Amino acid sequence: MERTKLAKRFQGKVAIVTASTLGIGFSIAQRLAFEGASVVISSRKQQNVDEAADKLRAKGIEVLAVVCHVSNAQQRKNLIDKTLQKYGKIDVVVSNAAVNPSVDLILQTPESIIDKLWEINVKSTILLLKDAAPHLKKGSSVVLISSLVAYNPPPTMAMYGVTKTAVLGLTKALASEMAPNTRVNCVVPGLVPTHFVELYTTNDAAREELERKVPIGRLGTTEEMAAATAFLASDDASYITGENLVVSGGMPSRL
């Protein structure tokens, strides 16, 4: 959607988006900013953070760029501290960071990889929100990002899928715990061609096979995931909390 046609639902608000220098995270940060938010972007590498910040600033976006490896306690704290130092508050937190370093079956996955998957995909979200929660006031919003594979983890993404199933449950639990001041919801993307799944989407034959599985007949876009995230984070969703919103072009999801 053109920037000029977008509502300004986040005017005067401050949004933190983790893992936001590429793909879905970058599009979320950009969408929230286009709707008026001051955005705080982060990822593990300084170069990536700087390049993403330059792209956003070139579009007239107010952005704070912070290096944050979400599994690092000091860097998580620094992300919150820097946000408060610059903007004085936090209205929205989008937890988007995730890894998938293995294609092994669960029972063949090394313990170190299992630890890494839980650390990044589940535990880091809990610990980041633990740091952020004291600063989230009435009307604030949290959006977690899961994945369609959470509902039926395929063999090559099994342990990753299980961690994303945990994110669905985490959404429900945190929504209850953080009510009534903070709403907690989750976006569940379907097939979106980002670097995260490029193995499956850069090959034409493989991509066409995937597209045939989608009732709408195409893969999703990062902008569509951002639009769903912006809705859930905004006051338009003021009576929605604890929900997992599937954005998959009609692909089946429920357990």
> Which residues, in sequence order, are CB contacts of 199 under 8 Å at separation 6+?
none
In-domain check, residue 201? no
Domain count along the chain = 1
Strand, helix or coil at 31? helix
In-domain check, residue 9? no
CA distance 193 to 132: 31
> How far is CA 193 from its chain centroid?
15
In-domain check, residue 215? no
Confidence bin at 210 (pLDDT 50/70/90): confident
Residue 195 above 90 pLDDT? no
- The boundaries of the domain holding residue 108 are 14-191+223-247
CA distance 81 to 59: 26
Active-site residue numbers?
Answer: 160
Task: Residue 67: count other Cβ atoms within 10 Å of its Cβ.
Answer: 18
pLDDT, one tens digit per residue, over 10-69 is: 999 999 999 999 999 999 999 999 999 999 999 999 999 999 999 999 999 999 999 999
Confidence bin at 232 (pLDDT 50/70/90): very high
Write the single-letter amino acid at 31.
R
Is the separation of the CB atoms in 62 and 39 below 8 Å?
yes
Q: Produce one character per residue of 26-58: b if its CB has 16 or more CB atoms within 10 Å, e if not.
A: bbbbbbbbbbbbbbbbbbbeeebbeebbeebee
- The CATH number for 61's domain is 3.40.50.720
pTM: 0.95
Mean pLDDT of 3-16: 90
pLDDT, one tens digit per residue, over 63-105 is: 999 999 999 999 999 999 999 999 999 999 999 999 999 899 9
In-domain check, residue 153? yes
Is the separation of the CB atoms in 133 and 182 below 8 Å?
yes
> Which residues, in sequence order, are CB contacts of 253 under 8 Å at separation 6+?
148, 151, 188, 246
Rounded percentage of the chain residues whose pLDDT exceeds 90:
87
Residue 170 above 90 pLDDT? yes
Predicted pLDDT at 209: 87
Q: Which residue in 88, 87, 90, 179 sits closest to 131, CA to CA?
A: 90
In-domain check, residue 183? yes
In-domain check, residue 202? no
Q: Is 191 exposed, middle or buried (0-12, 13-18, 19+ CB in 10 A)?
A: buried
Angle at 232 between CA 76 and CA 227, to 5 degrees: 95
Q: Which residues pair with 65 in a beta bridge?
A: 41
In-domain check, residue 173? yes
In-domain check, residue 35? yes
